[in-house]
Structure 1
Amino acid sequence: MSSNAMPSSSTALPRYLARPLVLLAAVLAALVASVVVAGTASAHVTVASEDATPGGYGKLVFRVPNESDTASTIGLRIQIPEEAALASLRTQPVPGWTATLTTSDLDEPLDNHGQEISSYVSVVEFRAEAGSGIAPGEFQEFALSGGPFPDAEQLSFPAVQLYSDGSEAAWIEPSVDGAEPERPAPVLDLAADPADTADGAATATPGAEEAGHAHGEAENEPAGLALFLSILALLAGLGGVVLGWRANRRTVSA
């Protein structure tokens, strides 16, 4: 056989392709991770209000996304701690759901316009009727109206999400040193003036599905930025592969 024969083809990648492909693999891994983060950040049960202020009355909206791929959400149990006790509390009807209120005695009575209140609504539970519920990939909003709200900047409302397969998701963990736990309790931010919550007004209105929740938007901003940067890096990596391929073709042609 002649020593000038062309070498047989090899399965090894050319050097001009190997490095860009390694870069692309890393970018794709980051892209997948950012998508997962974005998905989990929006799965929390959250609460917001456009008009609740310390000492005033307002409407609370609990947004409940279904995080299960196979089971429907059929119940939501909201706990109202004594430090968040309201003298008056009402539920907004939700088609296909029933609401049950549980009252508890107060250690220290509330003064409501000169009237002493010794008990308050401590648990609100929404239950789906037969054939109803929050299916996978959907969400629902549940609204409460009441007051007066305590003189505080934030109020926590631990909640338990019930599923049709018998499982539960307990959103009851408090944040520690600003770090969000795996199952954070819904936290309501109270503004001193209703104008302070104007940015979150549209997102807290039931039916504004496309607007997004005020808390959900804050949680999703870092994930959205990571996703955007990952896409840019992916495009840059693809550009490197194309440039390397063209350079190799010019070398072979020469």
Structure 2
Amino acid sequence: MSSSRPAVRRLLTTALLTTALLAAVVLGAGTGTASAHVEVSAPGATAGTGPVTVTFTAESESAAGIAAMRTQLPPGIAPPQVTLASGPAGWVLTPTPDGFEVGGPPLPPGSDAEYAVTVAALPAGVTELAFPTVQRYADGGEDAWIEQAAPGAPEPEQPAPVLTVAPGAPAPASTASPAQATTSEAPAPTTEAAPATTPGAEVTDDGVAGGWIAGLAVLAAVALAGGLWFRRSRAGR
């Protein structure tokens, strides 16, 4: 009987290691963040000054090429104050009621979109400017990078690009004119466009996660039962 002890120990060790590995995989999948973002930058920019060149970089996470980027401007910047500085060949800037859209011939699949706009002047007294952006692909799919994190909260799944600039002169006592004010709502995806992640894909992901969890529970039960059996067999000797 004593010769069976090494085999039992190896079985229990293998079961416990497998359970720990699966647990790490499941937990990692549950706490993951979005794989791509839209980034915005303007090196050396100062609040209340202009003109300023603001550069956007949008990562591609679709099999289709990026065709357009629609952005909502922060309060204090009006659509007529923004012009296209550079971008992919054939792309143009079109003002929208609350911002602008830059788009044109779809980029090759997997290619990131890089473009820059010139802002006539940044608002005074503001050092963080959010630019909620909807990324549209050639197949009609969209990624909505429009969520803004609350103070002290973790980064949201679909974060809006935020530009941080140096503080400048304080904002004037009067607020911006109605013509310069922008809406508080983020740019909504077009109704005819399909979302980048379809409901079917979400169901599939949930099913895979459920399978992992079920397998993890079975292995944990096997490890527990083996451990109890081993302890009882030793106690009986």
TM range (shorter): 0.5 to 0.7
TM superposition shift of 1:67: 1.6
C-alpha distance in 2 between matches for 1:36 and 1:135? 28
Q: Deviations over 1:133-155 (max 9, x none)?
A: 1513x322111122321120211
- Name the amino acid aligned to 2:75: E
Instruction: Work out the CA distance in 1 between the residues paired with 2:120 and 2:31.
Output: 36
Q: 1:78 aligns with which of 71, 78, 88?
A: 71
* Equivalent residues of 1:75, 1:128 under 8 A apart: yes
1:156 is the counterpart of 2:149: no
Counterparts of residues 87-98 of structure 1 (less than 5 Å): 88-98=81-91
Q: Which has the higher contact order (CA 8 A, sep 6+)?
A: 1
Counterpart of 2:55 in structure 1 is 61
1:133 aligns with 2:114: no
Which residue is equivalent to 1:168?
A: 142
CA contact (8 A) 2:79 2:99 kept: no
How many aligned positions are there? 163
SS of 1:92's equivalent in the other structure is: strand
Query: C-alpha distance in 2, partners of 1:127/1:13?
Result: 65
Alpha carbons of 1:134 and 1:18: their partners in 2 closer, same or farther (altered >3 Å)? farther
Deviation larger for 80-89 or 57-66: 80-89
Is contact 1:87-1:146 (8 Å) kept?
A: no
Give 1:185 shift.
1.6
Task: Give the counterpart of 1:99 among 92, 115, 128.
Answer: 92
Match of residue 165, structure 2, among 190, 214, 227:
190
Which residue identity does 2:84 align to in structure 1? T
TM-score normalised by length of structure 2: 0.56
CA RMSD of aligned residues (A): 3.3
Deviates more, 1:27-36 or 1:51-60: 27-36
Distance 1:183 1:102, change over 3 A: same
1:36 is displaced (CA, Å) by 8.7
For residues 158 and 88 of structure 1, the distance between their equivalents in structure 2, rounded to whole angstroms, comes to: 17
Unaligned runs of 5+ in 1: 1-6, 105-121, 194-254
Letter of the 1:30 partner, please give it.
A
Residues 95, 86 of structure 1: CA spacing in aligned structure 2 closer, same or farther, 3 A cutoff? closer
In structure 2, C-alpha distance between the alignment counterparts of 1:83 and 1:186, rounded to whole Å: 17
Could you give the per-residue CA deviations for residues 215-244 of structure 1, whole angstroms, max 9, x where no partner exists? xxxxxxxxxxxxxxxxxxxxxxxxxxxxxx
1:77, distance to aligned residue in structure 2 (A):
0.8
Verify: 1:45 aligned to 2:18, yes or no. Answer: no
Please give the alpha-carbon distance, in whole angstroms, between the structure 2 residues aligned to 1:128 and 1:32.
40
CA–CA separation in structure 2 for the residues paired with 1:96 and 1:36? 39
Once residues 34 and 91 of structure 2 are traced to their aligned partners in structure 1, the CA distance between those partners, rounded to angstroms, is 28
Structure 2: 5+ residue runs without aligned partners? 169-237
Distance 1:162 1:100 in 2: 14
Give the match's secondary structure for 1:56.
coil
Q: How far does the alpha carbon of each residue in 1:3-36 deviate from its partner, in whole angstroms, 9 at most, with x for none? A: xxxx9x9xx9641363255335524653686589
- Residue 118 of structure 2 is matched in structure 1 by 145
Residue type at the aligned position of 2:103: R
C-alpha distance after superposition, 1:167-225 (max 9, x if no partner): 222222222233322222211111238xxxxxxxxxxxxxxxxxxxxxxxxxxxxxxxx
Change (3 A) 1:87 1:13: farther
Quick check: 1:84–1:155 contact (8 Å CA) kept in 2?
Answer: no
Residue 141 to residue 48, structure 1, CA distance change in 2 (3 Å):
same
